[in-house]
């Protein structure tokens, strides 16, 4: 029986909705606990045996940690880009960033020690809006505004990315997914997710979706 991961995990979906059937599993080759972080999710841990993993298209994952407290985590968000309302988009992005940072604080992290890495923001959704670029620019500006050091980034381009991040060590591994099937699958998943988050905004409902 797999032992439950120790990290704090916030998610919107049932694990049964995930394409691999589980949001966490023990990797046989390494023995580490891999935690899948999907759109709208946030995961934070202080356990060196836990690794956050995700697949990104236009979405962004901010990977933030306190290297002294040895605690950190990953979020995964997509700005809704509903109509011309930048305020609505910023609300989603700001919530994702604040949720991650606040969970790190709960485990002993301090703002002046935080460092971040950003991944994703590929323009995989066919749109002149360049959603990926806007997501990446939002995250970069947010970190700058909050005074959080940007230790590294791999954003932009047109390809989806598979990302692994060790919150305790800060090490990250990125692989770009350039097969046609991978590209189509990620684009389809993100477009479906984007439609679910913009629908209440277009309808004029003041709904907090997180």
The catalytic residue positions are 59
Q: Residues with Cβ < 8 Å from 79, sequence gap 6 or more?
A: 89, 90, 92, 93, 131, 134, 135, 138
**Integer Cα distance of 180 and 4 in angstroms:** 35
Distances (CA, A) of 134 to 130, 137, 194: 7, 5, 14
| Residues 7 and 35 sit within 8 Å (Cβ to Cβ) | yes
């Amino acid at each position: 029986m797999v032992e439950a991961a120790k990290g704090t995990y916030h998610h919107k979906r049932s694990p049964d909705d995930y394409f691999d059937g589980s949001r966490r599993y023990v990797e046989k080759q390494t023995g580490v606990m891999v935690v899948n972080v999907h759109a709208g999710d946030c995961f934070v841990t202080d356990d060196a045996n836990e690794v956050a993993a995700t697949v990104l298209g236009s979405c962004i994952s901010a990977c933030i940690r306190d290297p002294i407290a040895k605690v950190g985590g990953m979020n995964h968000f997509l700005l809704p880009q509903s109509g011309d309302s930048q305020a609505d988009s910023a609300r989603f992005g700001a919530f994702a960033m604040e949720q991650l940072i606040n969970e790190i604080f709960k485990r002993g992290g301090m703002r002046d020690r935080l460092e971040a890495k950003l991944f994703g923001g590929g323009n995989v959704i066919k749109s002149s809006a360049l959603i990926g670029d806007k997501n990446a620019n939002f995250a970069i500006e947010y970190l700058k505004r909050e005074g959080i050091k940007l230790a590294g980034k791999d954003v932009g381009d047109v390809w989806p990315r598979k990302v692994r991040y060790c919150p305790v060590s800060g090490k990250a591994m990125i692989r770009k997914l350039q097969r046609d099937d991978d590209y189509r699958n990620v684009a389809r998943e993100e477009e479906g997710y984007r439609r679910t988050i913009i629908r209440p905004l277009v309808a004029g409902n003041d709904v907090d979706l997180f």
